[in-house]
Structure 1
Amino acid sequence: MSLPDLAELVALRGPARGLSLHAHRPALALLQGSHRSAQRGRGLEFEEVRPYAPGDDARTIDWRVTARRGRPHTKLFREERERPVWLLADLHPGLYFGSRRQLKSALLLRAAALLAWVAVLGGDRLGALIAGGQSQPRIFPPRGREAGVLPVLEALVEAQPQAPGVPDADSLNALLAGLRPLLQPGSLVLVLSDFSALDARTESALAALSAHSDCRLLGLSDPLERNGLPSGLYRAGLPGRLWWLDGARSQDAWQEKWAARQQRLDALARRLALPLTHLDTADAVAESLPPLLRETAWAA
């Protein structure tokens, strides 16, 4: 399996055209629990007040104008097109794994690149935090147009693991902690991870971020992780730490452990009303992500 290079990530600008992170009801919020609007905080800018009409959201009623004029009035907002969009790339060494089309690390790079292009082509400013084995995440403050995208793509290519390694149990928490002091209310946060090290600190950090921003989760997985080994004997592990596995005998325990991990992530997404999208190494990103990002998808 080949590793993505900069030329491939730049070329994803083409499939990103016509896609949007500002859809009225973003299809990135797949059928997983509650759906949070992409428009909140600084993502909306006040435009005018007009008389209330049936069907208007009661939460937008301007009570001061209503009291002054003696009839209900509602506030109108327009979407602020230059909101900060943050990519959090949990590119830990354990992502050097894949049994189908691509490694999980390659899937992350391709998804992050496509989302980055969608953001800047839609008028947003792109920022990123990238974990890749270094002690601290690399931080890229939000910038618009190609000036915001190209340095992030270059850093993703440099940070991708080059060989199998032990998953970093703290990389995602470090990303979330690093973003918190940088985050402006109303920002969009896209978290790309396999969530293999999800713990109480992760849940607490996501709850804090999502309180003032639009936060969406993109979970990476591989069919072999979900289904377990087929029947047969296999030698598995890391260099210097290999052991034999019996596919048939290990399958039940394997699938049970995977189901528990997935249920915890799904429950977290539902509890915090975070849209959760599952990305699979068996799918080409340029084919699987665009249908989820079309402006018309899920439109009311």
Structure 2
Amino acid sequence: MTNTTEHLQWLKSCHANGVSLDLKELIYYRAKARLLDLTPKNKIKHKMAGQYLAPHKGRGMEFAEVRHYQPGDDIRSIDWRVTARTGQTHTKIYQEEKERPVFIFTDFSNTMLFGSQLLLKSVQAAHLSALVAWSASERGDRVGGLVFNQNQHLELKPSARGKAVLKLTHNLISNHQEALSIHGADTAQNANCFSENLKRLNQLAKPGSLIYLISDFCHLGSDQKNNEALKQLQMLSRHCELVACQISDPFETHLPEHNSIIKVDTGSSESSLPLMNKSFRKRFNDQAQAQLSNRITMLKKSGLHLFSFSSSSPIEQQIIGKA
């Protein structure tokens, strides 16, 4: 991986090296929690789905309406401005805010263990997972997660406060360490780990949950008719709000010019790339862009919000205006 002086300084401030994970670099995002806005982007239509706002009116943080004062209303809720303007006593009504579970689905499968510049995609996924978790905790939501690599998954049921976030960060670190240790090893690997873990997520996530899916989605496949992962995503979107965060590396869609053949470990295989060959680079880039466009089309059909992030720059520099 290549790094500029600016990036090297950022890695030092973040306590990161771009390849392995450390607790300090995930705690670093606690101070960045307010970069994310986790308020619902759309109303979940499923009859079982909960929302942030309770359906009944009462005392709470979210203003709902002003109506005529009725016997028994709390006089502390009287709207004196409206009362003075109309000559009739009015009171403010609030909707009580409800917490909702925030699930973080983090992919450390083989294709995520790649990076050509600042970070491995898997490390960027962990950084974004930590940022979402700290943001949810700051808001008062319950945090849960499902972290998986090619051979193993770790589940965390939603719970409140910072302990849940710290538990998730430990899951991220241990699962990522195992992913690196088995990467390239001569062991049996599960080719269906992505869809299988989406199925687990369907079983874990309660209606009304906010779910962050953090992956490169390379295992989504191209067959829309017989695609188990796509079916699981569509099932999830019926009763939960889904935010897909697609992590990519610049090298995957745009090969740079080089004067020799280089070997690249893409996570699932090792390839030899003749970068001095202009026509090869064009064919590769065109094919990669077509695959990416197809993947994005499939994700959008699942009824989710889609955001794209690169592993080539710090996540806090990319998050403004997103997610």
* Same fold (TM > 0.5): yes
Distance 2:271 2:318 in 1: 35
Matching of residues 13-32 of structure 1 within 5 Å: 13-17=30-34, 19-22=36-39, 25=41
| Cross-structure match for 1:217 | 244
For residues 122-142 of structure 1, what are the alpha-carbon distances to aligned partners after superposition, in whole Å with 9 as ceiling and x for unaligned? Answer: 11101111112334x211000
Larger RCO (alpha carbons 8 Å, 6+ apart) = 1
Q: CA deviation at 1:220?
A: 0.6
% same residue: 25
Q: Among 262, 266, 287, which residue is 2:317 paired with?
A: 287
TM (norm. structure 1) is 0.76
The aligned counterpart of 1:111 is 128
Displacement of 1:259 in angstroms is 1.8
Establish whether residue 172 from structure 1 lines up as the match of residue 212 from structure 2. no
Q: Does 1:132 align with 2:149?
A: yes
The answer to whether the 8 A contact 1:39-1:79 is kept is: no
Aligned length, in residue pairs: 257
Question: 1:255 is matched with which residue: 285, 297, 303?
Answer: 285
Q: CA deviation at 1:108?
A: 0.5
User: Considering only aligned residues, what root-mean-square deviation do their CA atoms show, in Å?
Assistant: 2.9
| SS state at 2:199 partner | helix
Give the Cα–Cα distance (whole angstroms) in 2 for the partners of residues 156 and 20 of structure 1.
22
Aligned ranges 1:23-172 → 2 under 5 Å: 25=41, 36-37=42-43, 41-43=49-51, 44-48=53-57, 78=95, 80-135=97-152, 137-160=153-176, 161-162=179-180, 165=184, 169-172=191-194
Q: Which range is displaced more, 12-21 or 209-218?
A: 12-21
Amino acid corresponding to residue 245 of structure 1 in structure 2: L
Match of 1:211, SS state, is: helix
Q: Deviations over 1:32-64 (max 9, x none)?
A: xxxx4579720142134979xxxxxxxxxxxxx
Residues in 1 aligned to 2:28 and 2:190: alpha-carbon distance in whole angstroms: 30
Contact 1:38–1:214 (CA under 8 A) maintained in structure 2:
yes
1:232 to 2:259 alignment = yes
Provide Cα deviations, 1:237-292, integer angstroms capped at 9, x if missing partner. Answer: 449x7554212242122123212221222212332331101010112012222543
* Cα 1:80/1:211, change in 2 over 3 Å: farther
Structure 2: runs of 5+ lacking an equivalent: 2-16, 58-63, 67-92, 222-226
Alignment correspondent of 1:297: none
Structure 1 counterpart SS, 2:129: helix
What secondary structure sits across from 1:105 in the alignment? helix
Amino acid at match of 2:148: A
> What's the offset of the Cα at 1:8?
1.1
Aligned residue identity for 1:116: A
Residue pair 1:96, 1:165 contacting (<8 A) in 2 also: no
> Which residue type is aligned with residue 141 of structure 1?
K
Q: Distance in 2 between matches of 1:203 and 1:78?
A: 36
**C-alpha deviation, 1:232, in angstroms:** 3.1
Secondary structure of 1:273's counterpart equals coil
Measure the CA separation in 1 of the matches of 2:121 and 2:202.
Answer: 26
SS at match of 1:245: strand
Contact 2:262 2:274 in 1 (8 A): no
CA 1:20 to 1:244, structure 2 compared with 1: closer, same or farther past 3 Å? closer
